[in-house]
Amino acid sequence: MKSNGKMAQLTATPRTEKKGAALRLLRQGGRVPAVVYGPGQEGAAIHVDEKEMLKVARTGRSEMFNLNVEGGKTVPVLIKDQQERNGRLLHVDFLQISKNKPISVSVSIDFQGTAAGSKAGGVFQTQETQLEVEGLPADLPTSIEVDVSGLEIGDRLTAGDIKLDKGLTLVTSPDSIVASVMPPQAVEEEPTASADEAAPEAEEGQSAEE
């Protein structure tokens, strides 16, 4: 799924505050401390409006947008990382990118449909919720739709089975299992076996500590 239209804009203000008390004051004022990293340069400390940041963050980490730094220049960026607590943004790392240079990002998997094996009594399980792909920033999707309706009991869907849009290359190992449909019996037996096996391990760990 790709977004259409103009690239989103986010305004940032340079900051010199780097200590806890000063950062808390910024957050109380509705600002989010952040750092923007660029190729071959150290990170530049900035802060952004939390409400505006949340609008951008909802589009997904693979979404490219323009970061307008006050007193500086406008650069295309992606969200590299973000820290949250109790639904509040604490810190964001932005990555400055080149529109003409491929990059690797993790993209959320959007599972579509109901597995046929689930309707027959099996249990649908997801082993991966993201795929790492490489492509030009403009080609990166905000999510990757995967139709699982054809999965029967005992079937496994690997990363290599997923068809990617043109311009994208899979970075995740193609053998990585993304989803599977387990027989109901296997799912019921698994926790019991795990609990029995975990008991001696816990005792060994305790003995080792003593």
6-22 per-position pLDDT tens digit:
678 899 999 988 888 88
Domain 104-182 is found in CATH 2.70.40.10: no
- Of 83, 138, 148, the closest CA to residue 110 belongs to 148
- For residue 82, give Cα distances in angstroms to 57, 75, 150, 184: 9, 19, 36, 38
Backbone angles phi, psi at 36, to 5 degrees: -110, 125
Report field, pTM of the whole predicted structure over 0.85: no
**What pLDDT, on a 0 to 100 scale, did the predictor assign at position 198?**
45
Cα distance between residue 94 and residue 71, in whole Å:
18
Residue 54 pairs in a beta bridge with none
Cα distance between residue 88 and residue 32, in whole Å:
9
- What is the helix (H) or strand (E) element at residue 205, kind and residue range? helix 184-209
- Over residues 69-94, the pLDDT tens digits come to 998 888 889 888 888 888 888 999 99
**What pLDDT, on a 0 to 100 scale, did the predictor assign at position 154?**
96
- Over residues 141-167, the pLDDT tens digits come to 888 999 999 999 999 999 999 999 999
Backbone angles phi, psi at 22, to 5 degrees: -65, -35
What one-character DSSP code corresponds to residue 165? P
Mean pLDDT computed over 133-146? 90
Q: Tokens 């030009």 identify what position?
A: 136
Q: Please, are residues 131 and 172 in contact by the beta-carbon 8 Å criterion?
A: yes
Cα distance between residue 159 and residue 168, in whole Å:
13
Q: Please, are residues 96 and 76 in contact by the beta-carbon 8 Å criterion?
A: yes
Please check whether the two domains, 9-98 and 104-182, share a CATH topology: no
Q: Give me the residue spans of the domains in the chain.
A: 9-98, 104-182
Cα distance between residue 33 and residue 127, in whole Å:
33
Pairing mode of beta strands 65-69, 9-14: parallel
Domain 9-98 is found in CATH 2.40.240.10: yes
Residue 61 has pLDDT above 80, yes or no: no
